[in-house]
Amino acid sequence: MFKIITKDKNSNARLGKIRTEHGILDTPFFMPVATGGTVKAITIEQLNQMHSQIILSNAYHLYLRPGLEVIKNAGSLHKFMNWDKAILTDSGGYQVFSLAGFRKIYDSHIEFQSHIDGTKHYLKPEDVIDIQITLGSDILMPLDECVHYPVQEDYAKSALDRTLLWLERSKTQFKKYDLKKRLLFGIVQGATFLNLRKESALKSIDLGLDGYCLGGLSVGEPEALRNDIVNKTISHLPVDKPRYLMGLGLPEDILNAVEHGVDMFDCVIPTRYGRNGTAFTSEGKLVIRNSPYINDFMPLDKECSCSTCRNFSRAYIRHLFNTNEILGLILVSYHNLYFYLNLMKNIRLAIKKNKFVEFKKEFLNKYKIVS
């Protein structure tokens, strides 16, 4: 299922391969986020042009709309959206967490009101596995309880215990299907308490899952604290299983996590920033709406070979944004995803050459984190 190909001699970065029902994935990799069955402003053809290996969709959103019956009638989520590569589906635990006053959480199940029409829904952890099997997911995430920041340790402990209970039930349900090429990961919780993170990691490992995720981050905690949690929790996860940092993904975050042995990433940042007119470039972030670009006929990034950079200038793209033309957000979203996927390709190449540390240093020396 997961095989380590090589390790960087000067860090914990590693190259690996994950075998799924829809192909073999080269790690480390980044997953474009297709929450509701589409990557915003990006077509499937464009994802293939960028050589995206896998996308992430969300079971919660797809369960509510268009609904499981529609996707089942289509044959699978893959067929519904015309994507023939791997799909990872998030369980929706984070979305339920974000509903705040519109949900109730019990050891047995969750209750929540749809953010779309207010209808009430009741889901057990077993139901969430069933939903993802119906979708045809290659990599499944179990239902987990994400907590806010800051939070008291006793509350974080209670949520952790519930997440582990749900994880055990999720595995039991998953095994009933006997689908050897589908993968079930466990999610490590514990908020900002390192002792709870360690407990969550070790107890999840005892269940013998296909991979392990760091969840419950990027919910308001300071960056330095978040990095410390990632770096120290990774050391408790098995080296022979893929490690997935959920929902966190600025370029500098990815480089730091890869250095500590993380294999998988997802984040809405590339397309969200793209829709708002911020481009990621080899020299840092560029806000294309700004006046300095009104007569700038350079590409977004002179080192980028994506179709946006080959064909359009900063001045033109700025014009599109300032006249509210949809093409502007499409072009920058495409460029940003291409930038991320190309970054991952270069990371893999650097690890293969035992030059990851040098690559990271050179990238960050040139890349202006604040711009």
248: left (phi over 0), alpha (psi -120 to 50) or beta: beta
What does residue 59 show for φ and ψ, rounded to 5 degrees?
Answer: -65, -35
First to last CA, the chain: 41
Sequence-distant (≥ 6) Cβ neighbours of residue 244 within 8 angstroms: 185, 211, 212, 213, 214, 262, 263, 264, 265
Cβ proximity of 46 and 331 under 8 Å? no
- For residue 289, give both structure tokens: 């709406």
Which among 130, 263, 266, 301 is annotated as catalytic? 266
Burial of 175 (0-12, 13-18, 19+ CB in 10 A): exposed
What does residue 365 show for φ and ψ, rounded to 5 degrees?
Answer: -65, -35
The identity of residue 145, as a single letter, is E
**178 has catalytic annotation:** no
- For the stretch 60-85, what's the b/e string if a residue is b when 16 or more beta carbons lie within 10 angstroms of its beta carbon? bbbbbeeeeeebeeeebbbebbebeb
Which among 8, 90, 130, 138 is annotated as catalytic? 90
**90 has catalytic annotation:** yes
Q: Rounded to whole angstroms, how far apart are CA atoms 178 and 174? A: 7
Sign of CA dihedral 21, 25, 27, 31: negative
Instruction: Just list the catalytic residues.
Output: 90, 266
